[in-house]
Each structure stands twice: as structure tokens, then as C-alpha cells.
Amino acid sequence: MSPILVQWGNWSISVYAACLSLGLFLALMVVGLEARACHIRSAVWLDAALAALTLGVVAARLGYAALNWTYFQQHPLEILEVWEGGLSWHAGLIGGSIGAWLIAHRLSDRRPIELLDTFALALPIGLAFGWLGSYFSAAAYGRELYPGDAFFWLAVDQPDLYGLVNPRWPTQLMGAAWSGLLAVGLLLTRRYSARRHDWPAGTRFWLCLAVYSLGAFAIGFTRADDVPLLSGWRVDQLFDAVLVIAGLSQLLRGSISARRKDAHGRLPAA
């Protein structure tokens, strides 16, 4: 149960819901500013954002429930309680990308991947607040740390999903920090690419995907929440690895394509 931020009678707002809402609001503002800079019509990017948000949240909650089925099979109605915490970023990314991609086809002068580039700057912002919400709702909690462990000095007293409080890895805070660093890094690469005018379309999206997934894969070693295992590996880490490979392969493909275009005297897509 997430701690309550505000309550009026029977109506309340959990800290997780507040974090998620704030993150989505800030992410939407970033998308709007980036779309305006890229001269993308407001009707297009706003519809794409709403489609990404709707499909993304639904897919993220269903994905989280699937990964934590040990718990949700005993509490199936709690799958609907999105405000209590628990979203799978892998499923949310897929659902949100599909939603944005479908709307992006309304752009007659741009490819859909170019719209996803504008969303890439906002993605880590939403993820950072999602991690903070998970910290307050005890979702995606860390493994226990004990006195004498090499990283015990990092331990925070946090509960698991069942309310058992122990010194644990600050997994959620690490995820929030990694997301924040990625957001800053993407902003810097945006300014760099704007000066050079030579980054292929999709670079920021695939870069965001690969870098964040790499960090999520590493952070996965500190997590203790129940998820299915495959050959001894957490399924979410396997998804992270797949996304790292997908992101890097697309970046390589875009780089090769840009060089071929340069060889023929044409500028790569910006």
C-alpha cells in the first residue's frame, strides 16, 4: 500500500500516483517543447502523446502483473490499482511506442521515428519519477544487505511488497538517478547534434533505449522483487539485454546508412 499524500474523507491521493502524475506532466512538457523546436504540429504530437500514455500505462501495468504473478494471482483485482505502484517499463515502452507510432503516420513530411526522437528526451524523466514512486510504494525493491557486505553503507531501511522492513539496496533510488543522468545526457547530445546537423533520424530514441536498458540490466542484480527466472536470469534483465542489443544494432545501422549517404554526396536525415 502506497503512503497517502493527501486525503479528504474516502478520497485520497497516494504518493506513487502523485509521483507518476508529476513525471508524466513534466515529460509531456518536454515533448511539447521539443516538438515545437522541430516544427511538429501540436495536434500531431499531443495526439501521439495521449496515445502513448494510454497504451503505455495499460501495457506497463499488465506487464508488471505478469512479472509478479506470484503475488497478483492471489490478488487479481489489485491489477487495476495502478495508483498503488508497479509498472513494467519494458511493456510500457512497447505499448507507448506503438501508440505514438500509429499517430505519427499522420505526418506527411516526416518519418514516425522522428517523432519518437522527440519522445526520447521525455522518456527518462517519466522513468525517474516512476522509480521514485516505486520507492514510496515498495515496488521493485532491493535485495537485503547485511553488516559486513561490501556495499552495506548504501543500505536503506525499506519494506518489500509484503511489508517486511530490512536494510536493502537502494534499487529504486539508483534507478531514479540513472534515469536523471540519462535525461541530462540526452539534453547535451541534443545540443551537440543541433550544431553538427549530422545525426540520423532515430538516434536519440535508440540511444535512450540502449543506455537506459544497460543501466536497468545492471540495477537488476540488486533487485529482490519476485519475477520469473529463465536459466537462472531474471526475465526483466533478459528483456533489458534484448533492448540493449536492439538499440545498439539500430544505432550501428543508422551510422552505416548515414555514411553511405555521405558517400553519395547527400546529407543524412537530421
pLDDT tens digits, 35-45 = 888 888 888 88
Query: Could you tell me the three cell numbers for 174?
Result: 539508483
Q: What average pLDDT does this structure show over 72-89?
A: 79
CA 79 from chain centre, in angstroms, equals 20
Cα separation, 194 vs 270, whole angstroms: 9
In a domain, 270, yes or no: no
Alpha-carbon span 23 to 148, nearest angstrom: 37
| CA distances, 269 to each of 20, 31, 104, 248 (Å) | 34, 20, 17, 18
Distance CA 119, CA 34 (A): 8
* Residue 268 within any structural domain of the chain: no
- Report yes or no on 257 lying in a domain: yes
Contacts of 197 (CB under 8 A, 6+ apart): 267, 270
**Domain-located, residue 152:** yes
- Structural domain total, the chain: 1
Q: For residue 76, what pLDDT band results from cuts at 50, 70 and 90?
A: confident
The answer to the question of residue 162 being in a domain is yes
- Residue 269: inside a domain: no
The grid coordinates listed for 92 are 510500457
Domain, as residue range, for 204: 4-263
67 within a domain of the structure (yes/no) = yes
Residues 152-170 have a mean pLDDT of 92
pLDDT of 270 reads 41
Structure confidence at residue 269 (pLDDT):
46
Give the Cβ contact number of residue 75 at 10 Å: 10
Query: What is the spatial distance between Cα 267 and Cα 260, in angstroms, rounded to a whole number?
Result: 10
What number of CA atoms fall less than 13 Å from residue 112's CA on the CB side?
A: 12
CA-based end-to-end distance of the chain: 46
CA distance 33 to 39: 10
Task: Provide the mean pLDDT of the chain.
Answer: 85
Return the pLDDT at 87.
79
